[in-house]
Amino acid sequence: MQFLFGAGRNEFVEHVPHARQIGMRCLEIGPCFATVQLPWREELVGDPLRQVVFGGVITTLLDQASGLAVQCSLAEFKRIATLDLRIDYLRAAESRLDLTARAECYKVTNHVAFVRGSAWDREQSDPFASMLATFMIVGPLDASAWQQRVTAAKEKARE
């Protein structure tokens, strides 16, 4: 899976229509982790008075980072599904700042992967949310848009 690792691997978030629509981008992926950013956009605000980003968008950001961390923990790409995603909101995210999430897959069994992470606005040391997640490992990927991107990434890494 090392061909995946590095900065700016946006092909691994762009295959998800919702992630692409809200402008999510991959900052870095590596062994067992992923860091994903969501640039500030007015249309993502859920509380117009405080200009706070909608909680569902933050959930999407953390879920996307978690799924990538799981994929980066496996020997080969597999279909995965979120079983449980618990988010503790520690404070409101600051208005008009990009949001960043980092997730780490710390344990993988035959059928379940365990992930922890956080999201922040200004500094990683001051997160506005923390999360724990579990993912079901379903089986091998079929021929899909995701698989096509993976194949293209492997070929590019060989060049």
Summarised one tens digit per residue, pLDDT across range 36-64 is 999 888 777 777 777 777 778 899 999 99
SS3 69: helix
Average pLDDT over residues 109-118: 96
Quickly state the pLDDT bin for 100 (edges 50, 70, 90).
very high
Res 115: pLDDT: 98
pTM: 0.84
CA distance 130 to 127: 7
Quickly state the pLDDT bin for 78 (edges 50, 70, 90).
confident
Q: Which of these, 26, 95, 84, lies nearest to 54 by C-alpha position?
A: 95
Surface-to-core class of residue 136, CB atoms within 10 Å of its CB (0-12 exposed, 13-18 middle, 19+ buried):
middle
Res 131: pLDDT: 98
Residue 155 has pLDDT above 80, yes or no: no
Res 150: pLDDT: 66
Q: Which of these, 57, 56, 12, lies nearest to 34 by C-alpha position?
A: 12
Per the structure, the complete domain to which residue 48 belongs is given by: 2-158
Q: Which helix (H) or strand (E) covers residue 48, if one does?
A: none
Residue 137 near residue 75, CB atoms below 8 Å:
no
Long-range contacts of 52-59 (CB under 8 A, 24+ apart): 52/92, 52/93, 52/95, 53/93, 53/99, 55/89, 57/22, 58/87, 58/89, 58/93, 58/99, 58/119, 58/129, 59/85, 59/87
Number of domains in the chain: 1
Residue 133 has pLDDT above 60, yes or no: yes
CA distance 34 to 127: 16
CA distance 99 to 143: 32
What CATH number has the domain bearing residue 136? 3.10.129.10
Q: Which of 20-29, 43-52, 117-126 has the lowest mean pLDDT?
A: 43-52
CA distance 98 to 103: 17
Residue 157 has pLDDT above 70, yes or no: no
Total number of residues shown for the chain: 159
